[in-house]
Amino acid sequence: MGNAMFEIFEATGEASTLRSMFLTPHRKDFYTLIFVKKGGTNHWVDFTKYTIKPDTFYFSVPNQVMLKEKSEPMQGLVASFTDEFLQLEENKLLSELPVIKNPENKHELTLTPDDVIFINDIMQRMIYEFNSQFDWQNSMLQSYLRVLLIYVSRLYTEQFQTSNGTSTEKQLLRRFRELLEKDFYNVHQAADYADKLHITAGHLSDIIKRQSGKTVTEHIHERIALEAKRHLLHTDESVKQIAYRLGFEDAAYFNRFFKRLTNITPASYRVDIRKKYH
């Protein structure tokens, strides 16, 4: 990033605006927002393929594995910012927004013509401010970012989240997902998450299933498998090292666990995914 905490620029379709690192699998330690005006190439986010479409909004969060298939030109507006930049806000609202938390693990928002006008306007204002030398620049950028993130979070909620359930149940789902993201390396049992949330395992299971359509165990296993896939693609660690990193004392059990979820062994997955990405 050009700025230590925040950067925004306009991609004009020139090849020089594309970074060569996009053509190899990589992780970023910052958030990215992309309003695409023109483009049609494919890119991957955590092993899910997206075809970039005009008048569409894309976003990613830190630590996801990213890959762009070809260095073809794209026209649009691109903003990147760190978690530190979000924390500059006193009440921490931005850190809690759906598009930042991304509980549904989505990366693409469909835009109406009105959405296109609004998002283009606010991001153009951000570019102007970013390139200026005005006083209180970070505060101004943060204000624009706040408006943009709230706006696209409304779209996120409309497009990906249901309104079923009480606010208490939704809050529990959010708290469970936050705990899972923090503890999945070492905590693999549904009952342990229930203990951390001070409720019974049965009660947690009922609410999570009702709110998300998945069991607590399914959430845990999917998160572990996703991280395993990231490490298999993005690192040269052995399968045994990855197993231990993910809290498995027995590498053979990890192999069985991974194959049960993906129908392929970790070693075979590594070979296949690297052929696919390279």
Q: What is the pLDDT of residues 46-74, one digit of tens each?
A: 777 777 889 999 998 887 777 776 666 78
**What whole-number distance in Å separates Cα of residue 35 and Cα of residue 66?**
17
Contact 1, 80 (CB under 8 A): yes
Which residues does residue 65 pair with via DSSP β-bridges, in sequence order? 27
Residue 241 pLDDT > 90: yes
pTM of the predicted model as reported, rounded to 2 decimal places: 0.69
Residue, of 184 and 26, whose pLDDT is higher: 184
**What whole-number distance in Å separates Cα of residue 79 and Cα of residue 67?**
17
Residue 27 pLDDT > 80: no
**What whole-number distance in Å separates Cα of residue 21 and Cα of residue 104?**
27
pLDDT tens for each residue of 165-176: 667 888 898 889
Q: Which domains does the chain have, with CATH numbers?
A: 6-160 (2.60.120.280), 167-277 (1.10.10.60)
How many CA atoms lie less than 13 Å away from 256 in the CB half-sphere? 6
Query: Token pair for residue 53?
Result: 């479409």
Residue 176 class from Cβ within 10 Å (0-12 exposed, 13-18 middle, 19+ buried)? buried
How many CA atoms lie less than 13 Å away from 251 in the CB half-sphere? 10
Strand 108-110 relative to strand 42-45, pairing: unpaired
Task: Read off the pLDDT band of 18 (50, 70, 90).
Answer: very low
